[in-house]
Structure 1
């Protein structure tokens, strides 16, 4: 038999396998497609096509590392393959790898500059990376090329919203809602934009109308709960946080707020809650804190001056300093003129770290969860600070113990905490408040310090900031390892 006669059946078989596997993926049956793709990959010249479709199937099954590896194989055959680049960009976005997704989507735009989908994908990746103006440009280009695409329109509206351009966002999102017949996710986005623009009443009206019409969506309940909180209506917000958490059971942000609203004790806020809270809050964080009379960085400075008079007098310098939960770097600003060694900042929120980096005070900024940060082997630190960090943790023994390991033998631990003084019948030492923050019993704070080997140098009750119902009381504590 000639080579030509052998090739024809194999080509025919490959076409049938590819078409069948592709249809299974389109029909949301990706697991059934995988055996066919195994066979397809063994046919001459079809391994790249099989790899690309395998990547799509594995992504649908949420097996993202394997999906990315399959996309890598497809791109090994043709590094400029736009479809493969776009698929890998979407996989990387799903894995939280916005920078890698930007690289892939940009390469896809270069390979196929006429492709509106590639431009929309690049805009989406830039939006996730908080490059709002550039995201708006690419999403606008995609919308001009494909003006009827509802996904591109809604992402452009979201980009305007996140950039703080609420009037432009309102116009686009109103069109999206009307064109979709009131799709719940779009109504929630429209209401979120109104809420961020300061129109809580308008947001509430939109959301209640959607719910009254029978819509069921986690985002509707979540945004409505936040709108109610702007008026201090915690009791009314609680059932909506609960409904949102039930409709989105894998959302750690909603789970934490539902627990707080319903008085359910947990030992710490979820990482996803802290990240979502502060990534969204970062651009206006300092302005908001100043409006609330935030005092903690200044209180830390004064406490360190009292503990280290040689530093306060200018006869000694401070450092190295580890600023855990550094946020936008306000503690770094407060201590800047005393520093004589490196200042390192750690925060879970990339948005906060970007704001801190702009101050040009930190030798290093690390995006890490606090436990992971304290598991590192640090050079002995002169000072470890936790400014309004413990309010996102219930159980404190691991963190206080980790701070002790990071400190020099004569170093200082400086932290703030919201506290409560009534009886603690549960005996656990902390409470999850309706605000989503934790308060700690003074006796529990003292226990954690003693257990970790700290002696308390200073314990000062202070008003940490203001809220609508008055000052928030707490403590500022300075401690040093026992024996120094």
Structure 2
């Protein structure tokens, strides 16, 4: 395990201390020139690299930040602080699997560190590994029961795992200890809504708004609860308020426009991606419970138009699955494939579930039109099952 022992030279000590203070003051841009100088001093390349990674992450220059963290770890791969920093950077980049590897290595290097366990729990939560996330977050909270971040994350993990009573208990304890904590009332209301208690969610959200809390999540939860009870007209101003308070959120912007009767012909990419990311864990169960037949109908159309394939005389491939979702069409066609199956979808959550089926040679996250315009090799079959309903006008 690496420990940072500062040499006796006063310049190195001053540069390191000054850069660290600037980072604590959230002034990463000012810290970078000092860190460049620090890296040129003998024996301080690794220390400078770690602080540089932190500064670059603070500036959202995540690719450079990860490279700096790599440099910090080159000398000592078991350095827990560097592993944890790189895990946070990777989480910010959307690379949760790689973040899990780093956070797990940090836990192994410093098993007494509750922060490392909480970070691993957070990364596991991003991958929807709820039971594992709950275990590590619970370990972290046992070590530091008064840590609000650990309790909040544990409550979120219980909520996403569908253990709503346990989540409610965590949020209630946190609210009792920190009544003004941003976002807590919204989480409590969201948990009630997800448990099926729309009326309870509305009561919590209205109480929060009545106490002067002005947060996008709180308006959003109230709007969704109102929609769940059929009161769409009352939901519209709350969707609009949520969108105003979160101007970069395309999901809320689309809902606000639709609720106010100003919707466009085509849903925004950010809305569709957010919608299906949230829906992914229960997508297949919901469709199958409704008797969803589209994958089977696609298979029957292939058999009708490709009788040699149906007879086993020929194989399909390559095949392109547009809007592949969780890969249900891939499952329906699996025994007919003789070449690579490629899928594209806007939702990372859906693609992760498709990848788990181990049927797709390639999976791409992106917008279908842009993907096709890049040029696609000849395919024996292109499938778009329940996709064009999201496109609006199809002239392009």
TM-score normalised by the chain length of structure 1:
0.73
| CA-to-aligned-CA distance 1:112-150 (integer Å, 9 cap, x gap) | 111110111011111111221111111111111111111
User: 1:325 & 1:190 partners in 2: Cα distance?
Assistant: 34
Whether 1:137 aligns to 2:135 is: yes
Q: What is the CA-CA distance between 1:228 and the residue it aligns to?
A: 1.5
Secondary structure of 1:323 counterpart: strand
User: 1:268 & 1:76 partners in 2: Cα distance?
Assistant: 48
| Partner of residue 251 from structure 2, selected from 247, 250, 253 | 253
- The answer to whether the Cα contact below 8 Å between 2:156 and 2:167 also exists between their aligned partners in 1 is yes
Q: What is the CA-CA distance between 1:276 and the residue it aligns to?
A: 2.5
Cα distance change on mapping 1:270 and 1:342 into 2, 3 Å: same
CA RMSD of superposed structures (Å): 2.7
Q: In the TM superposition, what are the counterparts of 1:10-29 in structure 2 within 5 Å?
A: 11-29=9-27
Q: Rg: which structure is higher? A: 1
Secondary structure of 1:322 counterpart: strand
User: 2:334 & 2:57 partners in 1: Cα distance?
Assistant: 47
Query: Where do 5+ consecutive residues of structure 1 fail to align?
Result: 1-6, 399-484
Q: In the TM superposition, what are the counterparts of 1:180-199 in structure 2 within 5 Å?
A: 180-199=178-197
Whether 1:119 aligns to 2:117 is: yes
Q: What is the CA-CA distance between 1:264 and the residue it aligns to?
A: 3.6
| Partner of residue 237 from structure 2, selected from 230, 236, 239 | 239
Whether 1:43 aligns to 2:11 is: no
User: 1:201 & 1:286 partners in 2: Cα distance?
Assistant: 27
Query: Where do 5+ consecutive residues of structure 2 fail to align?
Result: 1-6
- The answer to whether the Cα contact below 8 Å between 2:351 and 2:365 also exists between their aligned partners in 1 is no
Q: In the TM superposition, what are the counterparts of 1:342-353 in structure 2 within 5 Å?
A: 342-353=340-351
- For residue 79 of structure 1, what is the aligned residue in structure 2? 77
Count how many residue pairs are aligned between Structure 1 and Structure 2: 388
| CA-to-aligned-CA distance 1:67-125 (integer Å, 9 cap, x gap) | 22222222223322211111111111111111121111111111111111011101111
TM-score normalised by the chain length of structure 2:
0.88
Whether 1:366 aligns to 2:363 is: yes
- The answer to whether the Cα contact below 8 Å between 2:53 and 2:64 also exists between their aligned partners in 1 is yes
Q: In the TM superposition, what are the counterparts of 1:90-101 in structure 2 within 5 Å?
A: 90-101=88-99
* Structure (1/2) with the larger helix percentage: 2
| Partner of residue 283 from structure 1, selected from 265, 271, 281 | 281
| CA-to-aligned-CA distance 1:190-219 (integer Å, 9 cap, x gap) | 221211111111111111110111101111
User: 2:306 & 2:31 partners in 1: Cα distance?
Assistant: 71
Cα distance change on mapping 1:228 and 1:318 into 2, 3 Å: farther
- The answer to whether the Cα contact below 8 Å between 1:184 and 1:216 also exists between their aligned partners in 2 is no
User: 1:296 & 1:89 partners in 2: Cα distance?
Assistant: 40
- The answer to whether the Cα contact below 8 Å between 1:319 and 1:381 also exists between their aligned partners in 2 is no
- For residue 394 of structure 2, what is the aligned residue in structure 1? 396
| Partner of residue 65 from structure 2, selected from 64, 67, 72 | 67
